[in-house]
Structure 1
Amino acid sequence: MLLVTSIIASVLTIIFIKLSFAVIGLRRKNKVGLGSGGYEDLERAIRAQGNFAEYVPFGIILIACLELNGAPWWLVAIPGVALIIGRLIHAKGINVPPPDFSKRILGMKFTFNTLIALVVLNLVWSLYLLFVLEGK
């Protein structure tokens, strides 16, 4: 079962929906059907949504792999919470005019460090299962 992954993916999806509604609202307000129409606030909203969509799937996949391979729930939950925090900070930093680059940078640091940690956790956990547990 993917109980922890389900919770994390659900929270991340709620954030994505909120970012998407922000884009839709600004498109309607500015009467722009495609692109940003030169509106800076719409461009920021589009990039916040796009950036979220670019990074989150990798995190969810790695979190699910970790959980499917039997890692303890807390080892799955900690990077999941870190990914949520990183994405929220980044979205806040990019969407608030003028863009708060310190928040964007902090959000990306959280995101990249979480993805790197998930890669390491998956490799170490998988190798542990393969060589230590399978070797018995």
Structure 2
Amino acid sequence: MDPQASAHAAALWTGLHLILLLVLSVLVTRQRRKHHIEIGDGGVPALNQAIRAFGNATEYVPAALIGLAVLALASAMPLLIHLIGFMLLTGRVMHAAGLSRSTGVSWLRTAGVLATWIAYIALAAALLFYAVP
């Protein structure tokens, strides 16, 4: 197996997740400018939702990207990296979309969290598998 293929797969998902984080960051900035709020959420629900969507992504994405990079270093199958990267990105987009629409329980937020957790479980299992020589 070509070790570069694993690195290319990890690079793809890292790039896509960085774009997601940038988009979520821009949404926070737009709300801040719209409501003239520099710090905190100013009690504005839309800004609070944007902050939480970005914050939640920043809580989950970095550790997963580190895991994908380690899988690439371990020469994991590119397909495995793609599956985990896709599941994580799908989960994060669904969660952010659900949180942007409602602060309450929503099927998008629930599905997004489940997809993220499944990606985390798959990533942890794959890392443990590749850790054994």
State percent identity of aligned pairs: 32
- Pairwise mapping of residues 59-98 of structure 1 onto structure 2 (< 5 A)? 59-97=64-102
Which residue in the other structure is 2:116 paired with? 111
Q: CA deviation at 1:58?
A: 1.0
CA shift digits 1:60-119 (9 cap, x unpaired): 111111111011110111101100100000000000146552211110110011111100
Q: Which residue of 1 aligns with 2:23?
A: 18
Gaps of 5+ in 1: 131-136
Residue 41 of structure 2 corresponds to residue 36 of structure 1: yes
Gaps of 5+ in 2: none
- How many residue pairs align between the two structures? 128
* 2:10 corresponding residue in structure 1: 5
Amino acid at match of 1:40: P
Partner in structure 2 of residue 133 of structure 1? none
Cα distance between partner residues in 2 of 1:97 and 1:108: 15
Q: TM-score, normalised by structure 2?
A: 0.92
Distance 1:94 1:22 in 2: 12
Stretch moving more, 98-107 or 44-53 = 98-107
**1:29 offset after TM fit, Å?**
0.5
* Aligned residues of 1:16 and 1:52 also touching (Cα < 8 A): yes
Deviations 1:12-69 (A, max 9, x none): 1111111101000000000100000000000000000000001001111111111110
Q: Which moved more, 1:72-81 or 1:40-49?
A: 72-81
